[in-house]
Amino acid sequence: MKSESSAIVIQAIPVAAEWQRAVQRNKIPLAAKVVVTAFLAVLVPVYLHTYGPTNFLWFCDTALILTTAGMWLESSLLVSMCAVGILLPQCLWLADFGVNLLGFHFLNLTSYMFDDKLPLFTRGLSLFHGWLPLLLVWLLFRLGYDRRAMVAWTAVAAGLVFACYFFTPPAGAQPANPNTPTNVNYLYGFNDQHPQMWINQNLYVILLFDALWLVAFLPTHLALRKIFVAPLPAAGLKLLPLRFL
């Protein structure tokens, strides 16, 4: 029985791969591109007015913009980068949001979703954190997973961390606009009221980025390259070859 089951599983793997490649050939429907772009066209001016431009330095907001671009370009690389970067962190966002809905507190990642000082419409736009991971998985089925994504997202994430650390307010800051994001990407700890005091702040940022790479980016990359087939030769942006894991 065990040998028969193993044979079935082994035979199913190439069938699944062929099915994914057939889906890739159908590309991305125009309707999906238009809907996501329309959402982004609403979100960007609202966020700019409410939070200011630094809000787009959050990993998730950057991923939303890159995903939209990836849909129009039908770029497996852009979509794969975003998947590596946010699939696991967005699961934490969803878990925290669900706990808050039940009246409890978890990581306080979504406390702003229950802040009556923010318009309900603005908070509603942030629900993209819930559907963006599902969209990315669907896009990976259609475009395939580009293994260069790990290196590419690491570079993007490092750039975002640098920009946030040197050009955005730390935890506990009180900017003129009370809605201006502080402690972007949690570079000062998970308490927005004051910076972490455990270790040297510069060392903390380095350790945080290393932890993200090891706990979120790398495992996601390893899982996605097993689950999804590589993109077809015509898919994705033609960039210079990158070494990848």
Cα–Cα dist 130/64, whole Å? 12
Question: Above pLDDT 70, what percent of the chain?
Answer: 84
Asked whether residue 241 carries a pLDDT value surpassing 50, the answer given is: no
Contact 180, 51 (CB under 8 A): yes
Q: Is the dihedral of CA 134, 138, 140, 141 positive or negative?
A: positive
pLDDT band at 27; cut points 50, 70, 90: confident
CB distance 144 to 20 below 8 Å? yes
Per-residue burial over 27-54, b if 16 or more Cβ lie within 10 Å, else e, is ebeeeeeeebeeeeeebbeebeebbeeb
The contacts of residue 130 (CB under 8 Å, 6+ apart) are 90, 93, 94, 97
Q: Give the tens place of pLDDT for each residue, 34-45.
A: 999 999 999 999
The residue ranking higher by pLDDT, 104 or 144, is: 144
Pair of tokens at residue 46: 């609202």
Which of 18-32, 47-61, 180-194, 221-235 is the least confident region?
18-32
Contact (CB, 8 A) for 128 and 46: no
Interval 146-169 mean pLDDT: 96
Q: Which residues lie closer than 8 Å to 23 by C-beta, 6 or more apart?
A: 141, 142
Question: What are the residue ranges of helices labelled H in the chain?
Answer: 2-25, 30-50, 59-73, 76-101, 120-125, 128-143, 149-167, 201-212, 218-227
Q: Which residue has the higher pLDDT, 130 or 237?
A: 130
pLDDT over 60 (residue 4)? no
Helix (H, G, I), strand (E, B), or coil: what is residue 123? helix
More confident residue, 144 or 115: 144
Euclidean distance between CA atoms 192 and 93, whole angstroms? 16
Q: Quickly state the pLDDT bin for 156 (edges 50, 70, 90).
A: very high
**How far from the centroid of its chain's Cα atoms is residue 13's Cα?**
28
Q: How confident is the model at residue 116 (pLDDT cuts 50, 70, 90)?
A: confident
* pLDDT attached to residue 45: 97
CB 57 within 8 A of CB 185: yes
Q: Treating both helix axes as pointing N-terminal to C-terminal, what angle do 59-73 and 128-143 enclose, rounded to 10 degrees?
A: 40
Sign of CA dihedral 216, 219, 222, 227: negative
Output the six-digit token pair for 91: 């699961």
